[in-house]
Amino acid sequence: MLTLCSICISRAPSGYHITNTAEEAALWVLNSCTVKNPSEQSLQGAIQKAKDSDRRVVIAGCVSQGAPGTYQGYSIVGVQQIDRIVEVVEETLKGHSVRLLKEKKQDGSDGGKKTRAGGAALSLPKIRKNPLIEIVPISTGCLNQCTYCKTKHARGELGSYPLEEIVNRVEEVLAEGVVEELASYLIDNVPHMTVSTDIICGFPTETAEEFEETLDLIKKYKFPVLNISKFYPRPGTPAANMKKVNTLECKQRSRAATILFNSYQIYTPERIGLEYMVLVTDVSSDGNYWVAHNQSFEQILIPKLDQYLGKYIRVQITEIGKFYMKADVLEESVEKAPYVPPPLPFGQVSGGQKTPKTQKPQLGQVVQEIKSKQKSLYVAVAAVAVYVLIKFVRRYLTSGSSALT
């Protein structure tokens, strides 16, 4: 994945603003992902395109953090240094090369040993792609040592954000009209709960029998969202030195998993006529419908009328597809959270201002409600996690491998 953010001079407080197109910009900030080879290749292509058009470049994200030596001569801002992006942009536009990659530390609990910080401060100003949706991270990095993972090289060990910082950010975004957060789906073990996962086909040492177990897992759980990928050896990871599965065999396994995924239908004809309360937060990829989600986070498309966006409404299913359901609106209802104000206008900066106390939601009540409902969901998720863990432990014990995948 490669996110292209283009920046040009304007009258904004910092002297810069985000442009609508890359062609308008004097400088490109390239935010990169290091999970697979194609994403890194996309970064290199974007760098060349910027060079050909005589534009300055700042490289951000996991690729630059994980392998900074690859991009000599370019400005780099690390995953924990994004709060200094304005400094980097200013120096880059002057023709200088700046590299900020240092890891940040924070005071430990009760004044103990300093620990790795979670990342850039949650209070940093940002512009949401969707004014109604906010993702509030609680940590960054990882405790695991997966043999195929290059991201660990960039993100490092687990680092958590202070609880107070998380709470403050949640209060701030709710006061800005955000209506959808991940925490809102920690609910009872509802039917048709949406669970997504990734499948790596052709990982080194994967046998035909083990791949059949993967197919059995897909058949059993019928994941509604499944990201199927062939194994890519990432430089510097233990898996890159392991004996690889034959390329043709790897392609055949990927194709078999894809065929299986496309063979089943999550949204069955029995759904037609059912009614749901949904939250409308986005627009469909073709631009013709609003995208809404029910308690199970299933995607439901409804007519694109302005009064529905950001609202909870009751709908009735009229049509089903592989990845969605379509519905008619039965009634428009008031927002369940009456304290939520209108969302910020598209493109307006979030953060950097104190939230008036009169606008803050009663977050404690929200947290207590989530805690009271999340237990049964954790049991369901834990069951899947244990299943997968047993599979990998069995592989470890039988193969004598020194690293789990």
Domain spans, the chain: 2-100, 106-185
Lowest mean pLDDT among 177-181, 233-237, 284-288: 177-181
Residue percentage of the chain with pLDDT more than 90:
18
- At 92-109, the pLDDT tens digits run 888 888 888 777 666 665
Lowest mean pLDDT among 122-136, 259-273, 387-401: 387-401
Strands (E), 294-360: 299-303, 312-320, 325-332
What is the 8-class DSSP label of residue 344? P
Mean pLDDT of the chain: 75
DSSP 102-147: PPPEEPPGGG-S-EE--SS-TTS-B--SSTTB----SEESBS---T
Centre a 10 Å sphere on the Cβ of residue 64 and count the other Cβ atoms it contains.
26
Of 164, 89, 172, which Cα lies nearest the Cα of 125? 172
Q: In this model, does residue 184 exceed pLDDT 80?
A: no
Handedness of CA 290, 225, 374, 271 (dihedral sign): positive
Q: In this model, does residue 401 exceed pLDDT 80?
A: no
Q: Note the pLDDT of residue 10.
A: 38
Q: Note the pLDDT of residue 1.
A: 43
Query: Is residue 237 classed as helix, strand or coil in its secondary structure?
Result: coil
**Overall average pLDDT of the 283-295 stretch:** 91
C-alpha 260/C-alpha 315 separation (Å) is 31
Handedness of CA 388, 394, 396, 399 (dihedral sign): negative
Q: Which residues contact 215 (CB under 8 A, 6 or more apart)?
A: 256, 257, 260
| CA 211 to each of CA 42, 217, 229, 339, 395: distance values in angstroms, whole numbers, following the listed order | 30, 10, 13, 50, 12
Lowest mean pLDDT among 156-160, 195-199, 336-340, 395-399: 395-399
Q: Note the pLDDT of residue 14.
A: 54
C-alpha 266/C-alpha 241 separation (Å) is 39
- At 206-256, the pLDDT tens digits run 999 999 999 998 998 888 888 898 988 887 788 888 888 999 999 999 999
Q: Note the pLDDT of residue 76.
A: 86
Q: In this model, does residue 310 exceed pLDDT 70?
A: yes
- At 352-385, the pLDDT tens digits run 555 444 444 455 554 454 444 444 444 444 444 4
- At 72-92, the pLDDT tens digits run 888 888 777 888 888 888 888
Q: Note the pLDDT of residue 16.
A: 76
More confident residue, 150 or 62: 62
